[in-house]
Amino acid sequence: MSKVSSNDIIIIGAGVSGLILANEIIQRTNRKVLILEKKKKFIYEKNLCFWNIPKNELTKLFNNKWKQIVINIDDEKKKLIDKDIEYLRINSKTLYDFYINKLKSNSRFSIIMDCEVTSKKNYNEVHISTNKGKYKAKFVFDSIPEEFTFNKKCLYQHFVGLEIKCKRDIFKVNEVTLMDIQEKNNLFNFLYVLPFSKNLALVESTYFSSKTFKKSTYINDIKNYINKKYNIKEFSVKFCEAGIIPMTRVECKTNKNIVKIGVAGNWVKMSSGYSLQNSFIYSKQIVDCILNNKYPKISSKPFMNFLDTIFCKYILKYPNHVKHFLKSFFFKNSLISVVKFLCNRSSFIETLNILIKLPKIKIIKILLRL
């Protein structure tokens, strides 16, 4: 019989949520933490963008930052600026290296790479079988989402982004284009531009819809956009990323010893896809529970989740009108109000002030269907 390695806490997956949670546990408790990661090595595989509020240890580790936020709707440009607000970008390799180096300096942390979990059995402790051996722990935090099948009644955020380099300077390095909404019948699509230098940027085509497309569709969107916007037909591609994010509450099979985290635990804000800041907030809540000998859980904000649900239903029902909804949201509010709302940090009065500026008739119709 093979030996079972005993641990205090096991985290499945060394992604954003897993690493931030591991760091929170190591920094604030005396527990031993083991991460099981299926990747063979950490690479630059995606970009993570977030607002600089609330402050955390990554708000000083960014690769790029922008003070000017641009929204383009119906060829009308809105530039949002606030002295206290910045939009930050960090690539995954920078984040992975930061946390792995920090965690490895502590003897209570260990990680096993190229480790595929084959089974989990829950007794008084959780027993995990992998291709690298068997492990057990009192608590397991699992970041692996359950497999999902596409549902035409559900909304998804899906995108392809290309890091492109042009032969001449075309980008404004001090501003990020958060949304440049495109005219597409019965589809909500926008282009997203993160300039890293005057001739290098990540350009992404994003859809909010119930169906996804071939990769060529998104790439053609980007090519056509660059040609139309900047009169550039040729550029080199330095990096490509793609993703699909459910814009709904995912099925979350959690029991008293196995807790889902990250995307699998509904740590992603439904309406925007932002999750990095939530990883800090929810990791702190989990460790607070551990320190108080309580079952690890997070406390989300039901009212904000309800508003997210309305927005997602609105997109499904009225894709051609989403730009009007977003125009009311971005053009009629200050940047600080927008960011606080997107980060679930608005007070009730601040939230109400935003809601009264949004299109009301269609929202009421959505409410009547809930």
Give the CATH number for residue 199: 3.30.70.2450
Phi, psi of 290 (to 5 degrees): -60, -45
Phi, psi of 12 (to 5 degrees): -95, 110
Nearest to 212 by CA among 161, 263, 159, 251: 159
In a domain, 56, yes or no: yes
Q: Residue 327 has which token pair?
A: 């125009």
| Of the listed ranges 66-75, 141-150, 302-311, the one predicted with least confidence | 141-150
Q: Mean pLDDT, the chain, as a whole number?
A: 93
One domain for residues 180 and 233:
yes
One domain for residues 39 and 132:
yes
* Structural domain of 359: 302-369
One domain for residues 351 and 266:
no
In a domain, 266, yes or no: yes
One domain for residues 8 and 20:
yes
Tell me the pLDDT tens digit for each residue of 176-199: 999 999 999 999 999 999 999 999
Spatial neighbors of 137 by CB under 8 A, at least 6 apart, are: 6, 7, 8, 9, 10, 34, 125, 126, 128
Q: How many domains does the chain have?
A: 3
Confidence (pLDDT) at 370: 66
Report the range out of 118-122, 158-162, 312-316 with the highest average pLDDT. Answer: 158-162
Residue 150 pLDDT exceeds 70: no
Tell me the pLDDT tens digit for each residue of 218-262: 999 999 999 999 999 999 999 999 999 989 887 776 677 899 999
One domain for residues 142 and 274:
yes
In a domain, 335, yes or no: yes
Confidence (pLDDT) at 360: 85
Arithmetic mean of pLDDT, 28-53: 96
More confident of the two residues 205 and 270 = 205
Residue 118 pLDDT exceeds 60: yes
One domain for residues 15 and 118:
yes
Residue 1 pLDDT exceeds 50: no
More confident of the two residues 97 and 3 = 97
Q: Residue 170 has which token pair?
A: 């075309």
Residue 369 pLDDT exceeds 80: no
Q: What distance in Å separates the CA atoms of residue 370 and residue 352, rounded to the nearest whole number? A: 20
pLDDT range class, residue 151, cuts 50, 70, 90: low
Tell me the pLDDT tens digit for each residue of 282-292: 999 999 999 99
High-pLDDT (> 90) share of the chain, %: 81
Confidence (pLDDT) at 366: 83
In a domain, 111, yes or no: yes
Residue 148 pLDDT exceeds 80: no
Taking residue 267's Cβ as centre, other Cβ atoms within 10 Å add up to 25
One domain for residues 311 and 350:
yes
Arithmetic mean of pLDDT, 20-24: 98
Confidence (pLDDT) at 154: 86
CA 326 to each of CA 62, 199, 330: distance values in angstroms, whole numbers, following the listed order: 28, 29, 6
Arithmetic mean of pLDDT, 346-359: 93
One domain for residues 330 and 347:
yes
Spatial neighbors of 2 by CB under 8 A, at least 6 apart, are: 133, 134
One domain for residues 191 and 48:
no
One domain for residues 271 and 321:
no
Residue 152 pLDDT exceeds 70: no
One domain for residues 278 and 130:
yes
Confidence (pLDDT) at 127: 93
Q: What is the pTM of this model?
A: 0.93
High-pLDDT (> 70) share of the chain, %: 97
pLDDT range class, residue 299, cuts 50, 70, 90: confident
One domain for residues 17 and 128:
yes
